[in-house]
Amino acid sequence: MDPKLYEKYSRQILFAGLGEAGQEYLLNSSAVLVGCGALGTAAANLLARSGVGRLRIIDRDFIEPSNLHRQTLFDESDARAALPKAVAAERHLRAINSAISVEGIVADLTPENAAELLTGFPLILDGTDNFATRMLVNDAAVSAGAPWIYAAAVASYGVTMTVLPGETACLACFLESPENNGFGLEETCDTAGILNAAVGVIASIQAAEAIKLLAGKTEALHHRLISFDVWSGRFQAIRVSRNPQCRACGRREFTYLEGSGQPHITLCGRDSVQIHEHSRKLDLAALGRRLAPAVLDVRNNDFLLRFSVPPYELTVFADGRTIVKGTRDPAVARSLYARYIGA
């Protein structure tokens, strides 16, 4: 190994479980992270510093001040600029480790683009905040035979599990089973809030599994569904067996991958509805000029246009995707979208 690289990663190479050969594997490896919020920023930070050679970060959202307590790659200037998370993550990760390749993609993972965005990566990390996207990741990974690492955190606790298609249980094996005992985290950041420390624990376990997989140390994988509560100190690690009747890894019915898209989604952590129109291209500057007389606080950057129609705030991306803040009612969001962006 190049002496400068050896020095850079020397304290990690010294760890007997990894060694120089493991580090070489990491440098030549790659991973894709779906979602770059709390878990995604924490895991991406660890993987970039570890020297994973190529990272792709997919995220549909932009940064707000209320993200900063737990989304540890971002700072106040990112929130003031309302930068897309994928764009800000790429910048910060490049500053952290210029020797690796980082690519931020501003997009919502959908059945239509999942194959294009995920194919070619030997590992997928879950940094999403909702059930539908996680199941889409599960279906895409299981159908392609690619490992992925589930992770979720809410309030003071979180869960994580590594899915090796054909070997271990997949997410559908237990979340869709009638005996599902609550590991699906029915609470959300909307109802229960979240402690940054819970995120750190779960993202660290997830990143450690990623490093084992990418460094070829699969014998060290924990093979458990792990949950940890930083408030009570309660820790559980249970074996989950494969369900031979599982829709995804058993019967190979990839219903989320075959789905016809997600017309609107309620986002985690605030009062918002997202409207996603497929394959629509908008000229944001022209739209901003057109809206200026009718709405308040029109602001745009290269990636998005934002404006207020009190009590609502709309953020429009160039592909037509729009986040309506101030409501949880899809009908209200659709009506505002039709009124200001056009149906």
Active site residues: 189
Could you tell me which stretch among 123-131, 167-175, 312-320, 324-332 binds Zn ion (CB under 5 A)?
167-175
* CB closer to Zn ion out of 109 and 170: 170
Query: 256 — alpha (psi -120 to 50), left (phi > 0) or beta?
Result: alpha
30 neighbors 121 (Cβ within 8 angstroms): yes
CA distance readout (Å), 99 to 10, 55, 94, 102, 241: 15, 12, 8, 10, 40
* Size of interface with Zn ion, in residues (CB under 5 A): 6
> Among all chains, which residue has been given the structure tokens 């959908």?
110
Residues 209-228 that bind Zn ion (CB under 5 A): none
Q: How far is the CB of 132 from Zn ion (least distance, A)?
A: 17
Q: Distance of alpha carbon 123 from its chain centroid, rounded? A: 13
Structure tokens at 5: 């690289």
Report in angstroms how near the CB of residue 160 gets to Zn ion at its nearest. Answer: 17
Pairing of strands 272-275, 124-126: unpaired
Nearest approach, Cβ of residue 139 and Zn ion (Å): 10
The interface mask with Zn ion, positions 173-212, x = CB under 5 A, is: x---------------------------------------
Residue range at the interface with Zn ion (CB under 5 A); choices 74-82, 117-125, 240-248, 292-300: 240-248
- Among the listed ranges 107-115, 148-156, 163-171, 254-262, the one in contact with Zn ion (CB under 5 A) is 163-171
Q: With binding defined as CB under 5 A, does residue 172 bind Zn ion?
A: yes
Structure tokens at 343: 């149906």
Minimum Å distance from CB 246 to Zn ion? 3
Across the chain, the runs of DSSP E, i.e. the strands, are 30-34, 54-59, 101-106, 124-126, 148-154, 157-163, 225-229, 235-238, 264-266, 272-275, 296-300, 304-309, 312-317, 322-325
Write down the least CB distance from residue 71 to Zn ion, Å: 30
Token pair listed for 139 = 């279906």
List beta partners, residue 275: 264, 322
Q: Quick one: which segment of 165-173, 194-202, 215-223, 285-293 binds Zn ion (CB under 5 A)?
A: 165-173
Residue 170 in contact with Zn ion, rule: CB under 5 A: yes
Which residues does 262 contact at the CB level (< 8 Å), separation at least 6?
A: 108, 110, 132, 276
Length of the chain as a residue count: 343
Phi, psi of 15 (to 5 degrees): -65, 120
Which segments of 164-295 are extended strands (E)? 225-229, 235-238, 264-266, 272-275
Give the nearer residue to Zn ion in terms of CB position, either 172 or 341.
172
Interaction mask 46-85, Zn ion, x per CB under 5 A: ----------------------------------------
Question: Is 140 a residue that touches Zn ion (CB under 5 A)?
Answer: no
| Euclidean distance between CA atoms 276 and 41, whole angstroms | 24
Min dist. Cβ of residue 66 to Zn ion (A): 35
**Residue of 48, 189, 246, 291 interacting with Zn ion (CB under 5 A):** 246
Binding segment (CB under 5 A) for Zn ion, from list 168-176, 256-264, 302-310, 316-324: 168-176
If the CB atoms of residues 247 and 321 are measured against Zn ion, the closer one turns out to be 247
Shortest distance in whole angstroms from residue 171 CB to Zn ion: 7
Q: Given the rule CB under 5 A, which residues bind Zn ion?
A: 170, 172-173, 246, 248-249
